[in-house]
Amino acid sequence: RPFTFEDEKILRSIKKASEGSNIINTLIKRCTKDLDFNELALVDKNFILFKLREISYGTDYEIEAGCTSCNHVNELTVELNKLPIKYADISASKATKMTLPDSEVEVEYLVPTANDEKFLNNSGHLIDNLWRFVKSINGHSERMVTQGFITKTTARDVSVLRNAIFNNDYGIQTKVNFECNSCGKDSAIELPINESFFDVS
């Protein structure tokens, strides 16, 4: 459902960036039903966030985008309902297997959920908590095995594993292409989420 006046008050109560995630989580729980929030894949949480914005404030989202050729700042209106969506097949929401390139071991890994977000709030936490998303290594699921393997394997193995776990191919595609109003060159940016995201255009 769209935000109510009470939801809006909760949203506007954010005083610092560190409070944002908890309040957004609260709003998603308030505005949805029959949803196991803790088991919600992060890509699905992002999808819901965009949909709540659309039904609460409209589809038009005004942003500024710098041209990569001439640095001119373009004022753009993005129609959120027209952003492409790449849907995952059902198997993508379950544990997935892959073989790492250097160690050649089979790793079964898990898709991060909304409940895991607390482990991912900075790059240091992400690396330290990578083992949490590894279900098994060559069939061994003990924490000592998974943690020990990650600390001892090659940087390439870790990079490949990290990219698989935090794959951003699915969900709302937030890359925005535009033609510069000044020089006419084509540019692309990742859609910024700024203070006017939850606002009427």
Percentage of the chain exceeding pLDDT 90? 59
Mean pLDDT (the chain, rounded): 88
β-pairing, 186-190 with 175-179? antiparallel
Q: What is the mean pLDDT of residues 48-68?
A: 93
Between 127 and 114, residue with greater pLDDT: 114
In terms of C-beta density within 10 A (0-12 exposed, 13-18 middle, 19 or more buried), how is residue 16 classed?
exposed
Q: What is the mean pLDDT of residues 47-64?
A: 94
Question: What's the pLDDT at 13?
Answer: 85
| Tens-digit pLDDT profile for residues 159-179 | 999 888 887 678 899 999 999
Residues in Cβ contact with 115 at an 8 Å cutoff, skipping those fewer than 6 apart:
37, 38, 39
Question: What's the pLDDT at 90?
Answer: 61
Length of the chain as a residue count? 201
- Is pLDDT at 78 greater than 70 in this prediction? yes
- Is pLDDT at 91 greater than 60 in this prediction? no
- Is pLDDT at 38 greater than 60 in this prediction? yes
Question: What's the pLDDT at 14?
Answer: 80
- Is pLDDT at 32 greater than 70 in this prediction? yes
Percentage of the chain exceeding pLDDT 70? 94
